[in-house]
Structure 1
Amino acid sequence: MSDTTPASPVGTGLSRGWRYLSVGAIWALALVLAVVIATVSAPEQYASWLSLALAACVVGGLCAQLATQQKEGFVNRLAASVSGAFVVLGVAGAVLGIVAAA
C-alpha cells in the first residue's frame, strides 16, 4: 500500500538559525532599550519608559515573526520573543530600582 500523505517540499521550514535570530533580535532590542532608558531617562520615569519599551518589543516581536513568513511555530516564537524581552526589561527594572534608591 502506498502512503497517501504528500511529501513536504524541500526548504519549506524555517531553519534553526533564523528561528534563533528572529527571537534573539527582540531580546537584543530589549537590552538596547534598557540601556538607553538607563542613560537618558530620569529615575522617576524608569517605570513608564520600561513599560513603553516592553510594548515596543511586543510590536517588534510581531513584526519579526511575521517577517519570517512561517506559520509553523509562530506562537511559540512570539512567546519566546516577548517573554525573553520581559525578563530582560524586568532585570533592568530591578537594577534601575536599586540604583535609583541608593
Structure 2
Amino acid sequence: MGRGKIQLKRVENQVHRQVTFCKRRAGLLKKAKELSVLCDAEIGVFIFSAHGKLFELATKGRSMKEMIEKYTKCSDQGNQPQTAPLKDVQVQV
C-alpha cells in the first residue's frame, strides 16, 4: 500500500512552513546527489528560501561558478538545454 496523495498548497503556519522547507530542501538535495552518482551526471541546484537565503549544490567536485560557466559556454555555442514541460515528465515506480 502506497502513500495517499496530498494536496499541494502553501503552508500557512510560518513555523510549519519553515520545517517543511528544511525537510524538502534536504530531500531535494539528496535526490540530486543520488542522480549524479547513479547516472554520472553533473548537477547544479540553486534554492532560495523565503527569507532570501541561498542554498546550492554542485556535484562532480565542481564549484557552482564552474557549472554556470560551462552552461554559458554550451548555450553560446548553440546547444539548447534539454528541457521538458513538467506535465510531460513521467515517473516510473
Larger helix fraction of residues = 1
Q: Pick 1 or 2: higher relative contact order, CA cutoff 8 A, min separation 6.
A: 1
Structure ID, larger Rg: 1
TM-score normalised by structure 2 residue count = 0.37
Larger strand fraction of residues = 2
